[in-house]
Each structure stands twice: as C-alpha cells, then as structure tokens.
Chains A and B, each alone.
Chain A
Amino acid sequence: MRVAVCLKQVPDDTGRLSALDDGSGLQGADCTWMLSPFDRYAVEEGLRLRAALGGECVAVHVGPDHAPSVLTEALALGVDKAVHVWDDAFPALDPLATARVLAAALRLTGPFDMILAGHRGVGEDHGQMPGLLAELLDWPQVTLAVGLTVEGESARVVREVEDGREEWRVTLPAVISAQKGLNEPRQKSLKGVLEAKRKPVLRLALKDLGTSLEDLAPQLRREHLVASPRRGAIRRIAGDPDAQARELVRLLREAGKLR
C-alpha cells in the first residue's frame, strides 16, 4: 500500500511571534519551526499502515522547509522517502493554490492508495487542505479521523465531530485527515535520525509540476495581519458573593457564552 503524508511546518512558540509593522505578515528571521502537531498523527498512521500492510510511506511538503526540516523529521521517524516542493517563483500561496501544487506533486509521485494529513495546521489554521485535495483528485475524503482500519479496497474510519462520533466507509484511494486520538505518535530514534540523511528526497519546482503561475494566483488574499487586540479592560464585579455570582451569570448569558 502506498501512503502519502502531507506535512505543514508551523512556528513553534506563537508567544514570541510578532507582526510586521506594515501589517503584511509575521517577522520570521529567528522563528523556531516545527511540524504541525496534527501531522504527527498522520505520519504515525502512515507508518503503522506500512507496518501492517507493507508498501511505502512518502512525506510531502510544500513550503520553504526551514531548519529543522519537517521532511527530515518525517524521514527520521521512519518514512521511506520525502518530496519537497518549492520554487522561489511561487507567489504567496493561498490554500487552493497550495492544494493545486500538492495535487500535482502527488500525481507525479503517485499512484497512492491513501493520502493522510493533519486535520488542520496550527499556523494559519485554514483546515481546508484535506477537502481541497480530495476534490482536486476526485477522491472521497474523511476528516477528523480517530480510528482507521483498511479493509481490502476500502477503509473504515471513525471520526469525531462536535456532538459525537460517526463511522464512514470509503473506497480507496481516499484522503483522510487525522485528529488527536487517532494513535500515539512515536518518538524519533537516534538511528532514525542518522539514517534519515541517506533516504531519498525528491525536489520539485514549478517546471516539474505542469502547473502554470496563473493556476496559482491567489483566490484568497491577505490584506492585513495584526496582533490580536488586547482584551478590553477587565470588568470587576462587586457586591456580596450572591450578587457577584448572579451578575456574572447575567453578563455571560448576555454575551452568549452560556448555551
């Protein structure tokens, strides 16, 4: 079974990020980067599927891949090979353009039986990639997977939604996104880290993908980015405890915080 895992790289500690004064984005020179946490569940699931069913697990990343490289990390965890897609000529990629690039890369390096990804990246947090990819590839998708079993040509997936759980069955190939609880991700071993350097990394640029720059023109544009406004002044609630309690409940209810 050939599984591809799509990786996203996000800043490690959002507490130390700051926005550029002109509102165009984040200051990034010394940012520490890491693999988006939900992607860890996806990588782990890909490795487990390979262990159970044989085949290959491939990590794919669209983005500059700052150090420490998420692809190297995936290789260190046990992934067989990595695909790095980047071209300095890319415009700022919005989710749809990223998905188009990813889909092209996956078609080039495919065929795959399953594509796994974290259900959202904790950076820009669009949460669209699984659905976009699935539609571009014309595959079924199941998001928020907390349980996955492959049964021959199809997969049975348990997903966790707001008010409970659902069990879906989809034919493969399919796009499946991972939610916390899907598995217990492994730690990388020293052996894995050292072997990672010897594993193949395929680098793809725009010319390899068969897409044009027009296809990648952003449909969603960032106009402005600023730090979240500081909370307004605190509202101190006075009175005796009973009065304070009632007033708080009243205020919260008005603000729609109680359901």
Chain B
Amino acid sequence: MSVRETLETDLLVVGGGPAGLATAIHFRRCLAELRQRRPELPDLSVTVIEKAREFGAHCVSGAVVDVEPLVRLLPGRELPGFAVPCTGEQIAWLTQTRAVVSPWMPRYLRQRGLQILSVNRLVRWLAEAAEVEGVQLAAGFAATAPLIEDGRVMGVRTGDSGLDRQGRPKPSFQAGADVRARVTVVAEGARGSLLRQLDDALHLSAGRPAPVYALGLKELWQVKRGRAQAGQVLHTLGYPLDGSVYGGGFLYGHAGDQVSVGLVVGLDYQDPRLDPYVLFQRFKSHPRIRKVLEGGRILGYGARALNEGGWYSVPKLWGNGFLLVGESAGFLDTRRLKGVHLAIESGMLAAETALEALSQGDGRGDERLAAYADRVASSRIRQDLWQARNARQAFRSGRVLGLAQTALQALSRGRGLVDPLAPSRGHAEMRPLNQLEQPRDAASRVAGQMDRQVTFDRATALAASGTNHEEDQPPHLVVADPEVCAGRCRAEYDNPCQRFCPAGVYEIVAEHEAGKPRLLIHASNCLHCKTCEIMDPYQIITWVPPEAGGGPSYEAL
C-alpha cells in the first residue's frame, strides 16, 4: 500500500465548498451543452477533492444567501427545502443590557427576500447535484502540496495516511496520490494551505496588501417554541465588542424552531488578551439573545476564518494551469457581509474559462485561462467588491470613524475620503502587553464562568462540533520554533494562541508539570478555522492538512 499512485483528470477542483462544487457542476453542464453542438468533442473529467470525510462537514457560515447565482447554476431546480426566505430584519446596537434597534438600514444591508440557510446543508445538496452531473467526488482527501513544473501547476499531491505521531509509517500506511490535471481550480476557502504554497512559489499576492481576516464563531440551537421566528434576521453591533474591535453578532431564524447565533471578530485587534470565544459567550448572554436561547439546546458549534481583504487584496486569479475561486480568491463582500453568492458566481466563471481552455485542443489552454480575470472584472463580483473596496479598511481607526467612513463610501461608490485606505495589518496590530494603554479585564477561558445553559466552556462546545482526528498522527499544526512560545511570546503577549483559538488547541503548560513552561498542542480539537496561522504574532504557526477525513463534522451548521 505504499506505492504512490498517479491519477489523471482534466479539471481538478481542490475544495468541496460552494465555490468548488459550483465550478464542477457548471463545467459539466456547459460541457454537455457544448458536446450537443459539437459531438466530436471528447468527454472531460472533473474531480473534486475535499479534506472532510463527507462533503459539507467542514462548511460553516451564518448564512443569509443571495441565491440568484444558485438559480442560474441549476435552473429549473427548486430551492432546497431547508432555505427560508428572510421576511423580517433588524440591525441593533447592543450595550451590556440593552438592544437599540436601528430605525434605518442602508440598502446594501437589506436581507429581505434573501434565503436563510445552512451552508453545510447547501453543500450536501450541491454535492448530490454534482454527482448527477457526473462529477467525480472524493471526500477524505486533502491536497497537501501543488505539483509545479517549470512554473506550471500540473495538479496536486494528496496527503499520506497511516503515519504515527513521530511520522513513522504504521502498518496501515498509504502514500498520497499525485493527481495530475490540465486545469486546477483552488477553492479552499479563506487561508487555504494549498494556496499558501502556490503563493510562495508563484508570488500570487505580490504587490497587494496582505488580506485582513475575521473569525466567525457560530452555533445552531433548537429553541423553545415561540422564542424565535423563522425568517427573522438580526445583526448587531456593539456589545460585547468595544470600539476598537471590528465585528458584530447575528441571530437568524430557521424553520423548526432552530436558530443560528454567531459572532464575527476582526482578526486585527490590539489587545492580546482578547478571547473571541469568550466574547461569543458574552454575546449569547446578552438579554436580547439569551431570551431566545434559554431553555433550548445546542445542536452544533463551529468556527472559521473569513477573508476580509476585499478587492485590493485579491491575488492574481490565474496562472498556467490554475484558477482561484471563492474565498481563496478573496471574494467576500465585507459591506454586505456575504460571500456564498460570489463563490458560486466565481465558480461558474472559472468553469466557463476552464472549458474554453480545455476544449479547444490547440495547446493554448494556458493563455485562455487569463480570460478568467476579464470575466471576473466584468461581473458583479467586481462590481460588488469595488463598492466595498475600502469598507473593512475604514474600521482600522475604530468603530465610530469606521461607520462614518462607510457612510461616505456609500455615497461615493466606495471611494470615501481616501482610496485606497491603508489596510489593517491584521496580526501586526496586536500590541505587546507592556504597550497597552490601560488594563482591560483579562478575558478568561476558564469553564467556571460559564452557566452551562446558554454559555459553555470550549470543551463542551467542541463536543457539538463533532470534531475528531486520528490521535496517532503527526501534529498538523507546525510551530517553527516552540522556544518562542515559552519564552518571548509568554513575556510579550502572554501566549494569545490560548485565547484566539476557538477550539482550545493551544495550551501553555506550567513548569511544575512539564519541567519548564512549554506548549501543548491538542491538535485533535482543531476546527480547521485557520485563525492560529493568521493571528500568531510571530507568524511561526503553519497549518497543514491532517490525515484524511479528520476535522469537524458539522451537521446543519
């Protein structure tokens, strides 16, 4: 079982989320149409590889989705039954005890008519549609490295399985396969590990500011009858985030007395003692939210980083042999707080481009991939992202100025006062402890503060994520220099990894237990959110895909 196999496919899609599946589905459908007109064209194979054990298992989002591209992707198909149209919406400003509903809502934030749904369920639904179209789906396989020859992306290598903690082969060892493809579409979502390697090799983000990210935490709850209404959308600002922290909360009503509740926290906060998970618990205990959740039952918990870089941080979208779609391409509208529609749209544009490249057969396929950038530029992706190009950046100076600037931008098609606004520096905004202006109450990650009715400690919440990894495998979170953790980072930042990880993966163990303070990595808890790689102040953490199929097992999230 240790021979490395080589497989071939025409179109390879890395990542089975909305963007990846839309690419695959649209490619096959367009191909079918094309072959009706040109029957001499050979069939072209599409393979989607996805690191989760099952399609959708690693997908989590709010979500209120603009389904217009979905309807174009699969015309004539009824929307999935789990989608509920938004019939009522509010934006509220929260203080510690009150919720003040905004009397006015800018047009771009209006949700009415959009569909409230679970992205996890949407992806399962798309996967079924993909199978019908003849897409080859392979769940439980992660792309661990690109195959690059002479600057051309030839496909990817998938991960080995059956290595023990020390990296030695166990009896069940299986070498990963090399998947060679004529076109590879990267659809890993925010902060993909394959994209990182492509970027290093091919300099895709040269000349662009590094994107800023946010961390989204979310739970699905079964609430008591009457506490929530299906179709209701609530977005909040304010408590528990103070003016210097970007982000906000949400509460969406699904059918069957289920709600999605969540908090988004910008990953450019200054205080290293901030704990997004604890802030999420505080959000849930706000009276406006608590009254919905109390007496209910948590069904699921998940977390994921969001790419909020906006238009100016969009990397080079294509190269020889590859295209980027979805959040891998930075396609997230930070003004409207939406990305699924852009993911699907970009998937369709990538599919059309790839089909052109693969069906002409004159050896000029790579040149034709350039057309993707043109397609994106003349699509609503560009239109929406252009308007939003300075939206996130406006908040670098805090909430008040941010809101003011956003208003100005709305009036000037996104230009605002300064265009481009200096982008946030993400993790580099974090200040060492000795530079903080005033002490803030240290957010605690101790279970003792949770009420276990509406708020829970990390470990309890994790049980609702279904996350699981083979324990006996090499740790998939690689810390380049663990000495930094016990030494410099402890002194300068008090090891913020213990707080910004929503899964409690990182723990600094005290001297009496381990000799001297050292870092314990509970890799098995990992939710694959990528926050650690993003937020680590020394940038020494690298996330690599763990062994096949490990990770969260989100259900209806």
- Check A-B contact in the complex, CB < 8 A: yes
Q: Which residues of A contact B (CB under 8 A)?
A: 12-13, 15-16, 29-32, 67-68, 184-191, 193-194, 197
Residues of chain B lying within 8 A (CB to CB) of residue A190: 5, 7, 49, 138, 141, 158, 176-177, 179
- Given known pairs A32-B57, A190-B158, A190-B179, the reply for A185 and B172 (CB within 8 Å) is yes
B residues whose Cβ falls under 8 Å from a Cβ of A: 1, 5, 7, 47, 49, 53-54, 57, 121, 124, 128, 136, 138-141, 158, 161-162, 170-172, 174, 176-177, 179, 299-300, 463-464, 466, 468, 548, 553, 555-556
Give the distance in Å from the alpha carbon of A12 to the alpha carbon of B551 in the complex: 13
A16–B219 alpha-carbon span in the complex (Å) = 14
A184-B171, A187-B548, A189-B5 in contact; A194/B136 too (CB < 8 A)?
A: yes
CA distance A248 to B128 in the complex (A): 56
A30-B556, A191-B7 given; 13 more Cβ-contact pairs under 8 Å: A12-B466, A13-B468, A16-B299, A16-B466, A32-B466, A32-B553, A67-B124, A186-B172, A187-B1, A190-B7, A190-B49, A191-B177, A197-B136
Q: Are the CB atoms of A187 and B172 closer together than 8 Å?
A: yes
Q: In the complex the two chains form, what is the Cα distance from A217 to B207 in whole Å?
A: 72
CA A15 to CA B301, docked complex, whole Å:
13
Contacts of A16 in B (CB 8 A): 299-300, 464, 466, 555
With A190-B5, A190-B179 already in contact, the answer to whether A30 and B555 are too (CB < 8 A) is yes
Which of B139, B158, B170 meets A68, CB within 8 Å?
A: B139
Task: Compute how far the CA of A1 lies from the CA of B147 in the bound complex, rounded to whole angstroms.
Answer: 41
- Check B54 against A68 for contact (C-beta < 8 Å): yes
User: Are A193 and B54 in contact, with the CB atoms below 8 A?
Assistant: no
Whether A194 and B54, one on each chain, are in contact in the complex, defined by CB atoms closer than 8 angstroms, is no
Instruction: With CB as the reference atom, state the residue of chain A lying closest to B463.
Output: A15
- Report how far A13 CA is from B300 CA in the complex, Å: 12
Q: Are A12 and B174 in contact (CB-based, < 8 A)? A: no
Nearest chain-A residue to B300 (Cβ)?
A16
Q: Residue of B at shortest CB range from A194?
A: B136
**Contact (A186, B1) CB under 8 Å given A32-B553, A68-B139:** yes
Q: Considering only CB atoms, which chain A residue lies closest to B161 in the complex? A: A187
- Distance in angstroms between the alpha carbons of A15 and B299 in the assembled complex: 10
- Interface pair A194/B47, CB less than 8 Å apart: yes
* Complex-state Cα separation, A65 to B370, whole angstroms: 44
Give the complex CA separation of A194 and B300 in angstroms. 31
A189: chain B residues at CB < 8 Å are: 1, 5, 174, 177
The 7 closest A-B pairs by CB, nearest first: A30-B555, A184-B171, A190-B177, A30-B556, A193-B138, A187-B161, A187-B174
The reply to whether A194 and B138 form a contact with Cβ atoms under 8 Å apart is yes
Smallest beta-carbon distance B284→chain A, Å = 19
Bound form: Cα–Cα A197–B9 in Å: 15
Contacts of B53 in A (CB 8 A): 68
List, sorted by A's number, 21 A–B pairs whose CB atoms are closer than 8 Å: A13-B468, A13-B553, A16-B299, A16-B555, A29-B556, A32-B57, A32-B466, A32-B555, A67-B54, A68-B54, A184-B171, A186-B1, A186-B172, A187-B161, A187-B174, A187-B548, A189-B1, A190-B176, A190-B179, A193-B141, A194-B138
Where chain A touches its partner, the secondary structure class is loop
In the bound complex, do residue A31 and residue B555 qualify as a contact, i.e. CB atoms below 8 Å apart? yes
- Name the A residues within 8 Å of B138 (CB-CB): 190, 193-194
Is there contact, CB below 8 Å, between A13 and B174?
A: no
Q: How far is the CA of A182 from the CA of B484 in the complex (A)?
A: 45
Of the listed residues A15, A30, A32, the one surrounded by the most CB atoms of chain B closer than 10 A to its CB is A30
Give the residues in chain B near A194, CB-CB below 8 Å.
7, 47, 136, 138
Chain B residue with Cβ nearest A68:
B54
CB neighbours of A15 from chain B (8 A): 463, 466
Q: How far is the CA of A14 from the CA of B136 in the complex (A)?
A: 30
Report whether A32 and B54 are in contact in the complex, using a CB–CB cutoff of 8 Å.
Answer: yes
Task: Kindly list chain A residues whose C-beta atoms are within 8 Å of the C-beta of B179.
Answer: 190
- Distance of A186 Cα from B1 Cα, bound (Å): 8
Chain A contacts for B466, CB-based, 8 A: 12-13, 15-16, 32
Q: How far is the CB of B205 from chain A (nearest CB, A)?
A: 29
Report B411 CB to chain A, min CB distance, Å: 44
A199 to B48 Cα, complex, angstroms: 19
Residues of A within 8 A of B162 (CB): 187
Q: How far is the CB of A234 from chain B (nearest CB, A)?
A: 16
Q: Complex formed: what's the CA distance from A212 to B468 in Å?
A: 43
Query: Which residues of chain B come closer than 8 Å to A68, judged between CB atoms?
Result: 53-54, 139
Q: Report the nearest B residue to A13, measured CB to CB.
A: B466
Bound: A202/B338 CA distance, A: 44
* Chain A residues with CB below 8 A from B464, complex form: 16
Q: Report the bound CA distance from A13 to B1 in whole Å.
A: 29
Chain A residues with CB under 8 A of B1 = 186-187, 189
Contacts of A13 in B (CB 8 A): 466, 468, 553
The complex places the Cα of A68 from the Cα of B140 at a distance, in Å, of 11
A residues less than 8 Å from B171 (CB atoms): 184
CA distance in complex: A13, B551 (Å):
13
- Contact between A188 and B177, CB atoms less than 8 A apart: no
Q: Tell me the complex Cα distance, A56–B369, Å.
A: 46
| B386 CB, min distance to chain A CBs, angstroms | 38
Contact B5 A191 (CB under 8 A): yes
Report which residue of A29, A67, A190 has the largest number of chain B beta carbons within 10 angstroms of its beta carbon: A190
Smallest CB separation, A58 vs chain B (Å) = 22
Assuming the contacts A12-B466, A30-B556, A31-B555, asked whether A188 and B140 have C-beta atoms less than 8 A apart, the reply is yes
Once the chains are docked, how many angstroms separate the CA of A67 from the CA of B129?
A: 13
Contact flag A12-B553 (CB < 8 Å), given A68-B54, A186-B172: yes
Q: Which residues of A contact B468 (CB under 8 A)?
A: 13
Chain B residues with Cβ below 8 Å from A30 are 121, 555-556
Contacts of B161 in A (CB 8 A): 187
B440 CB, min distance to chain A CBs, angstroms: 36
Q: How far is the CA of A174 from the CA of B366 in the complex (A)?
A: 59
Residues of A within 8 A of B174 (CB): 186-187, 189
Min CB–CB distance A11 → chain B (angstroms): 11
- Least CB distance from B441 to A in Å reads 33
CB-CB < 8 A to B136: which residues of A? 194, 197
CA distance A186 to B548 in the complex (A): 13
Residues of B within 8 A of A187 (CB): 1, 161-162, 172, 174, 548
In the bound complex, residues from chain A placing their C-beta under 8 Å from that of B548 are 187
